[in-house]
Amino acid sequence: MLDIGDLSVTLHRGGRPNLVLDRVGLVIGRGEIVAMLGESGSGKSTLALAVMGLLAPESQPIVSGAIAIDGESLVGASPDRWRRMRRERLGVVFQDPIGSLNPTLRIGDQLSEAITDGSSAASWLERVGISEPLSRVRAYPHQLSGGQCQRVMIAMAIAKRPGLIIADEPTTALDVVVQAQILALIRRLAREEGIAVLFVTHDLAVASVLADRVAVMHAGRLVEEGAADKLAARPAHPYTAALLGARFGLTVDRTQQLPTLVTSADSAGAASAGCAFAARCKLATDHCRTVRPPTERAPHGGVVACFRTAESGPALWASASAHWPAAQDSGREILVELAKVEKTYAFARRLLAGKARPARAMAVRALAGVDLRIYRGESLAVVGGSGSGKSTLLRVVAGLLLPDAGDVIRPPENPAQVIFQDARGSLTPWLTIGEQIGERLRPLRLTQSERRAKVEAALEQVGLDPRLGEARAGDLSGGQCQRAALARAIVVPPSLLLCDEAVSALDMTLAAAMLNLIGSLRRRLGMALMFVTHDLAAARVVADRIVVMANGEIVEMGDVETIVAAPAHPATQALLDAMPDRLAQAVA
Amino acid sequence: MPRLEAAAVCMLFVITLVAFAAPWLAPADPVVKIGEPYQPPSLSYLFGTDEIGRDMLARMIYGVRLTWLPSLVIIAAGVVIGTIVGGLGALAGGVIDLLLTRLTELFIVIPSTMIALAAVAAIGPGIWHTVATMSVFWWPWYARIVRSEVKVVASRPHAEAARLSGVSGPRLVIRYLLPAALPSVLVTATLDVANVILVLSLFSFLGLGAPAPTPELGAMTARSLASLTTHWWIPILPAVAIFILVVTANLAGDGLRALMKAV
């Protein structure tokens, strides 16, 4: 169905050429589901765009090699031919479902444009699991939730009966419960209709439950490819093994740090003469650094590009973890206390309402009488699905939001610091990282050089090069932005560190490193931690105590292991069922 | 910055320099007869002479001064007043915001040019009277832009993070909030140059800005339109100068915007 051979793509950024894809080859058969796995910057999205003929013209793409869809060769094809190909034989599902639908058209009308066989839009809505399809065809995209919009996108992609669907991280923006449903839907419909799928993802768990085959990209090169189950069981490339090792589920050993397997992706070089992974690989030899490994048959039946395949494997990485630093003992002193806190968001009936809520909703009770105590030095996770009120709770604790009713008692000294989910957005683009970290030192009235030393020390504590103090957010990668935000939070250690979905947007490898960092710093600096997330596995790693929220209320509270082992509330159970460990059952 | 825009920024400096140095650059007194009237451009009079026999080159150089400097002052006043009104409204919120927004809207809906004309007529004609009066009316659009940009940026995570870092008051406003409005304000200001020059020449044309013998570019074109077919250089040369000023300002605005993006 799809035949990519020796595909190289060079994109220009700021006038400089940048080799993003380096001789990539991939074949997808009819009806086959293939996952393209890689971390951000690996070139996986560029590959998806190249296959769709949608590389941005302003990046002056230079494409060489071969792309053939259904036997039709497309490299160098005219925009008209690409357009016809996309219309007739390609289905596309993007990451941002709400932004991908036309906000001015009813979804029934948009869906009808894609339907070729005369079936009704409502019947397609029913097939993708949208309730009340007959009335929903008249809805506009903003009246649906993100998950529902993604279902509509999937219906549109499949309704024209293409040979191939390209799905670029279609579940990354959704919460875990919805993600499991969407994955199951894609798999079922692709099977029913015999459609091939190229599924781009950074999540190995998602890739292995959804796909027949998995292809692993690193720094623009395909490093390994094979049947999903075999590849996950016995990865042949050290990078795949590293990804596998970095995956933390509900059973990972939380008494020590998560295994950190590779250095950050920032050191990987696509243009390197040898293996692009050599700079990050613990097995690398001089041979690896100078000669590019050829693609060869792997023990699992697929292919791999590595000289050290024999030594690779999950066992190598299992011992890579370190112990947590000793925590400071701080007794049971109450740090923050919330009593019967309520917060209601009222909506005027705006013409273009925000995401995920029906237009008629006039008020949403985000917090419905919440009582909570946070003790000095403790580590608390607040877990819940989207709309559970967990982020509102964090904003109230941080003092960013005033509650409508109830009491909040906060410590008088050092206000809480917040790590936001959107790390790049939490850094002011026109100021340097050092200037922003320095703001927290202003009350200390330090000299220029003292302040500089403190800023550099904070950057080093979070594992960043101190020279990045001179950089601005735009110069940094997503992972570096998150660390810079953390450096700002801890340069003067607060009594309470608040994390709002701080690792949800990160790749597994980066997320593991970030969790280790947060866990170590809070112990070393004696900070209490409130970690807000929808991810129970991440919560379990960093927190001792868990609070589960649903519909603005605390529905369950207790020791982390107890709750994970025996959830008492259906909301907790739903979050557990959506975890990657159990995703396979949910999708099957 | 692309080469054309870079050239425009340099050009803008040259124009401003010419405006300030006019008394030293002009080859003759712009309001005194120096030769025969209606002399076409030649080696002795590079831009010719006008209907009275005054040197056109001298009048043009002074014209740049009398058009460019007042435009700069009016736009600067508009940006400053607009930033204060818009920024104050966005940050104070509540009743103050409501009052300032209504005030801004009031200034947008009233026929400000007419009122300015009446005001200048009342306090007496003169270029600096015109500048002062126009400055009073030129800020509402800037206030709107600054208010909306500051409101948006104040709710962004990086502004919240700055507040949690202990930044507040003027420091928060100047370092974290107002810079967000800078690109839009700058673009509006460069596009505004054309408007200001046109309104200024309207004042001069009506005899309220620069009085009759003063070489203001708009007024020079307006007064000599009748001789367009017989002595083209008298209306055309000042018009070309206005055209160059406006285009240069727009290109320089693009250049500055690109420069700010790069930082």
* pLDDT tier for residue A262 given thresholds of 50, 70 and 90: low
B167 touches chain A (CB under 8 A): yes
**Beta-carbon count within 10 A of B137 CB:** 20
- Is A119 a member of any domain? yes
In this structure, is residue B65 part of a structural domain?
Answer: yes
Query: Do both A146 and A260 map to the same domain?
Result: no
Mean pLDDT for chain B? 86
Tell me the residue length of chain B.
Answer: 263
| Distance between B181 CA and the closest CA of chain A, angstroms | 12
Give, in degrees to the nearest 5, the angle at Cα B92 between B91 and B96. 135
Q: Does the pLDDT value for residue B263 go beyond 60? A: no
**Contact state of A425 with B179 under an 8 Å Cβ cutoff:** no
The residue with tokens 């009594």 is: A495
Residue A402 and residue A283 in one domain:
no
Kindly report, residue by residue over A230-243, the tens digit of the pLDDT. Answer: 888 888 888 888 88
pLDDT on residue A233: 82
Question: For chain A, what is the domain count?
Answer: 3
Question: Token digits for A43?
Answer: 């070139």
Q: To the nearest whole percent, how much of chain B has pLDDT over 90?
A: 24
Residue A584: the pLDDT is: 67
Contact (Cβ atoms closer than 8 angstroms) between residue A164 and residue A111? no
- Asked if the Cβ–Cβ distance from B175 to A429 is below 8 Å, we say no
Residue A551: count of CB within 10 angstroms of its CB: 15
Residue B34 counted as domain residue: no
**Which residues, other chains included, contact B169 with Cβ-Cβ below 8 Å and sequence gap of 6+?**
none
Res. B261: pLDDT tops 70: no
Residue B153 lies in a domain: yes
pLDDT of B80 higher than 90:
yes
- Among A516, A567, A568, which residue's Cα sits nearest to residue A538? A516
A residues 164-193 near B, CB within 8 Å?
A: none
Q: Among A516, A513, A523, A535, which residue's Cα sits nearest to residue A493? A: A523
Q: What is the model's pLDDT at position B1? A: 63
Model confidence at A318: pLDDT above 60: no
* B263 contacts chain A (CB < 8 A): yes
Q: Are A315 and A253 in contact (CB under 8 A)?
A: no
Instruction: Assess whether A352 and A275 both reside in one domain.
Output: no
Which position has the token pair 């250049």? B255
On whether both A289 and A349 belong to a single domain, the answer is: no
Classify strands A303-304 and A221-227 as parallel, antiparallel or unpaired.
antiparallel
Cross-chain residue pair B164–A416, CB shorter than 8 Å: yes
**Chain A residues lying within 8 Å of B156, measured CB to CB:** 425
Cβ within 8 Å, pair B165-A422: no
Whether pTM > 0.95 for this model: the answer is no
Q: Which of B156, B164, B179 sits opposite A415 (nearest CB)?
A: B164
Note whether residue B32 is domain-resident.
no
**Cβ atoms A534, A350 nearer than 8 A:** no
pLDDT tens, position by position, A474-498? 888 778 899 999 999 999 999 999 9
Residue-level length of chain A: 588
Task: List the single residue in B with minimal CA-CA distance to A395.
Answer: B160
Pick B199 or A224 by higher pLDDT: A224
Place of tokens 């401003």: B16
CB contact under 8 A, B166 and A400: no
Nearest CA-CA distance, residue B263 and chain A, Å = 7
Q: Which of A84, A86, A66, A87 is nearest to A75 (CA)?
A: A66
Say which range, A17-26, B83-92, B97-106, B198-207, has the weakest mean pLDDT: B198-207
Coil, strand or helix at A103: coil
Instruction: Say how many domains are in chain B.
Output: 1
Type of residue at B180: A
Residues A206 and A247 in one domain: no
pLDDT recorded at residue A299: 84
Chain B residue numbers with beta carbons less than 8 Å from the beta carbon of A431 are 175-176
CB A431 within 8 A of CB A454: no
A141 and A272 inside one domain: no
Tell if the CB–CB gap between B161 and A485 is shorter than 8 Å: yes
Residue B177 distance to chain A (closest CA, Å): 10
Give residue A263's pLDDT. Answer: 59
Please name the member of A400, A426, A443 whose beta carbon is closest to the beta carbon of B158.
A426
| CA gap B187, B36 in Å, rounded | 45
pLDDT surpasses 90 at A261: no
Q: Does B170 touch chain A (CB under 8 A)?
A: no
CB contact under 8 A, A428 and B165: no
Backbone phi, psi, residue B164, to 5°: -65, -25
Q: Which CATH number belongs to the domain containing residue B89 in this structure? A: 1.10.3720.10
Please report the DSSP string for chain B in residue order: --HHHHHHHHHHHHHHHHHHHHHHH-SS-TTS--S-TTPPS-SSSTT-B-TT--BHHHHHHHHHHHHHHHHHHHHHHHHHHHHHHHHHHHHH-HHHHHHHHHHHHHHHHS-HHHHHHHHHHHH---HHHHHHHHHHHS-HHHHHHHHHHHHHHHTSHHHHHHHHTT--HHHIIIIIIHHHHHHHHHHHHHHHHHHHHHHHHHHHHTTSSS-TTS--HHHHHHHTGGGTTTSTHHHHHHHHHHHHHHHHHHHHHHHHHHHHHH-
Q: Which domain holds residue A538?
A: 335-416+495-501+527-588
Residues of A in contact with B164 (CB under 8 A): 398, 400, 415-418
Average pLDDT over residues A198-225: 89
Smallest CA–CA distance, residue B162 to chain A, in Å, is 8
Look at A24 and B31; give whichever has higher pLDDT.
A24
Would you call A428 and B176 a contact, using CB atoms and an 8 Å cutoff?
A: yes
**The pLDDT value given to residue A139:** 87
> Is pLDDT at A532 greater than 90 in this prediction?
yes
What order do you get walking across the sheet with A553-559 strand by strand? Answer: A417-419, A496-500, A528-533, A379-383, A545-550, A553-559
Q: Quick check: is B38 in a domain?
A: no
Q: Any chain B CB within 8 A of the CB of A415?
A: yes
Q: Which residues of B touch A420 (CB under 8 A)?
A: 157, 160-161
Q: Is B205 or A44 the better-scoring residue by pLDDT?
A: A44
Q: Which residues of A touch B158 (CB under 8 A)?
A: 425-429
Q: Is the pLDDT of residue A353 over 50?
A: no
Question: Of A190, A211, A232, which one is at a domain's C-terminal end?
Answer: A211
The pLDDT mean for chain A works out to: 85
CATH number at residue A111: 3.40.50.300
**Same domain for A204 and A247?**
no
**Phi and psi angles of residue A437, each rounded to the nearest 5 degrees, phi first:** -65, -40
CB A216 within 8 A of CB A243: yes
In a domain, B236, yes or no: yes
Whether residues A69 and A16 share a domain: the answer is yes
Residues A193 and A342 grouped into a single domain: no
State the Cα–Cα distance between residues A544 and A537, nearest whole angstrom: 12
Residues of A in Cβ contact (< 8 Å) with B183 = none
pLDDT the model gives residue A290 = 85
Asked whether residue A133 is assigned to any structural domain, the reply reads yes
Residues A288 and A358 placed together within one structural domain of the fold: no
Which of chain A's residues have a Cβ under 8 Å away from the Cβ of B165?
417, 436, 439-440, 488
B-facing residues of A in 294-353 (CB < 8 A) are none
Residues A154 and A25 in one domain: yes
The whole domain housing B14 covers 3-24+48-262
> Which of A318, A345, A365 delimits the end of a domain?
A318
A327 belongs to a structural domain: no
Distance CA A343, CA A363 (A): 10
Neighboring chain A residues of B167 at a CB cutoff of 8 Å: 439, 442
Q: How far apart are CA B49 and CA B60, in angstroms?
A: 11
Closest residue, chain A, to B172 (C-alpha): A439
* A125 lies in the same domain as A67: yes
